[in-house]
Amino acid sequence: MSTYGSLHEKEGRHVLVFERKYSCSPETVFRFITEPNYFTQWYPFATGDMDLSVGGKIKFNDGEGSIYEGVITELDPPKSFCFQEGNDVLVMSINVAVEGCTLTFSHTFDDREMAIYIAAGWHRCLDVFGQLIDGRAIEWEDNALELREYYKKKFI
């Protein structure tokens, strides 16, 4: 299974999809996705302020003084966690697999020109997510430029 994302179109919008396999239970992956102390370590701009319920708010801070919110649209432990952040839709689905589970992470957005940047960003975030799940120290690899080049060749 490739760790790279793929880009699709759905209803006139762009959908970036990543699939990652983990050797732990769906419950463990779900906990690392939804518990604020883990969420803030891999999800960009997350503040840890999260009302974990359908309709609940997730607060983000862009680091430049702007606080904004996402709204949880689906919560089905340990299978799915979805929320809307502005016009963007984030869907995290977990399925049982041989010797663990598979996380399918998708981000639906409008601006195709941003696809290579969004893909490189999520690729890096999901790499860190994997480090957390594996109990390793978090190390943000300095690979954003290389990933943007890869996705530019793949998507354009």
What are the residue ranges spanned by the domains of the chain?
6-44+76-155
> pLDDT digit string (tens) for 22-62?
999 999 999 999 999 999 999 999 999 999 999 999 999 98
Cα dist from 47 to 71, 100, 117, whole Å: 14, 29, 22
Residue range 6-44+76-155, CATH number: 3.30.530.20
> How many angstroms separate the CA atoms of 91 and 17, rounded?
9
Predicted TM-score (pTM) of this structure: 0.95
